[in-house]
Amino acid sequence: MKLEKSTKVYIAGCGGMLGRAVYAYFSERCNVKATDIDLNIEWLEYADVRDYKQMEESIIAFQPELIINLAALTDLEFCEKNAENSWLTNALGAENIALISKKLDVPMVYISTAGIVDGEQDLYNDFDAPNPLGIYAKSKYHGEVFIKSYLDKFFVFRAGWMMGGGPNKDKKFINLIYQQIKFGQKELFIVDDKLGTPTYTLSFAEGIFKVVETELYGVYNQVCEGDCSRYEVAVELVDLLGLKDELKITKVSSDYFKTEYFAPRPTSEKLVNMKLNARGINFMPHWKEALKDYAQVFIADLNKS
C-alpha cells in the first residue's frame, strides 16, 4: 500500500519511547490518530487496548487504512509482579486490535520482542521457534499468535534492545547508564553475560513505514545490524560521550543484579534480519552507527548541565 498524506493511520499505545519515533515519522507523511492511556503529550487521545468496546469506538470513528499497535507493558519485573495486567495489555490488547482490524479489513502492525526466545541458541533468525521464559515474553508472544490466527494482512516486527527517546523518555539500558553518569557515578557495573541486538527507535519507525508499503506481510526480525553484550554497549556509549578516561566500567555477571532484575531473561536474544535481507528491505543501520547518532542527544544534555 502506498502511504500518503491522506492515508489514515491509527496508532495505539503511542505514548512511549517507540511511540514518539513512530508518531514523528508517520505524522509527517500520513494522517495519524494516536492514542494511549497516558496522555503525556498533546497529540494523544485516550483509548485503552484492554477495553475492546472503547478501542472499537475509537478506531471505527477514525476509519483507518492501517492500524499500528505499540501498546505494551515492557518492564520485565513489573510484568512478573503484575501478571494479569501484563496479559490483558500485551496479549488481550493485541487480540482486541486484531479483531477490529479483521472487522474493518485493514492491515495491522504489531511490535514483538527478541525476548520471546529462550537463549539456548547464539543467534535467532525469523524462522526459529520462540520459547518465551517470563510473563512479559509469554504475553507478547501470545499477541503474535492471536494476530497470525485472525489476520491475513499483518506485520509483526520483532525488536531487540530498544534505544531512543532521550533522557526524559528512554526507559531502557542506555538511559539507565546515562542517568548514573549524569548523577556522578564514577564506576559502572555492567553485565557481560547477556547478549543481544540493539534497536534504534528512529530507524525502526522508518523500517515499519517502508516495509508496510511493500505489502509483503508476515513476521520480521527488525533490529540493528551487528550484535553485542550489554558491556560492549556501555563501553561504546561512554566512549561516544568522551568520558572513557573518567569512568571505570567493571564487568559483572547477571547474578550481581539478581535481586533488582529477577525476571527470567534469555542469555542470548541476538536476532538476525534474515527475511528483510533476503527481500532487500532491511533499512536498519549497524548498532554502533545508530548509537553514535543517538548519543548526540545525551551529549547535548550533558552540555546543558
Give domain status of residue 132, yes or no: yes
Cell numbers for 225: 545490524
Number of domains making up the chain = 1
User: Each residue of 14-52: pLDDT tens digit?
Assistant: 999 999 999 999 999 999 999 999 998 999 999 999 999
Q: What is the pLDDT of residue 245?
A: 86
Would you say residue 257 has pLDDT above 90? no
Domain of 145, in residue numbers = 8-166+197-227+271-284
Mean residue pLDDT of the chain comes to 94
Retrieve residue 181's grid coordinates. 553518569
Decide the pairing of beta strands 44-46 and 66-69.
unpaired
The CATH number that applies at residue 109 is 3.40.50.720
Q: Does residue 63 sit within a domain?
A: yes
**pTM of this prediction?**
0.95
Q: What is the C-alpha separation between 226 and 57, in angstroms, rounded? A: 42
Q: What is the pLDDT of residues 230-241, one digit of tens each?
A: 999 999 999 999
Residue 298 in any domain: the answer is: no
Is the model's pLDDT at 305 over the cut of 80? Answer: no
Residue 93 in any domain: the answer is: yes
| Residue 268: per-residue pLDDT | 95
Place of cell 546543558: 304
Decide if 256 is inside a domain.
no
Contact 1, 215 (CB under 8 A): yes
Whether 176 maps to a domain, the answer reads no
Q: Evaluate if residue 144 carries a pLDDT over 80.
A: yes
Q: Is residue 191 part of a domain?
A: no
For residue 77, pLDDT beyond 70: yes
- Assess if residue 190 is contained within a domain: no
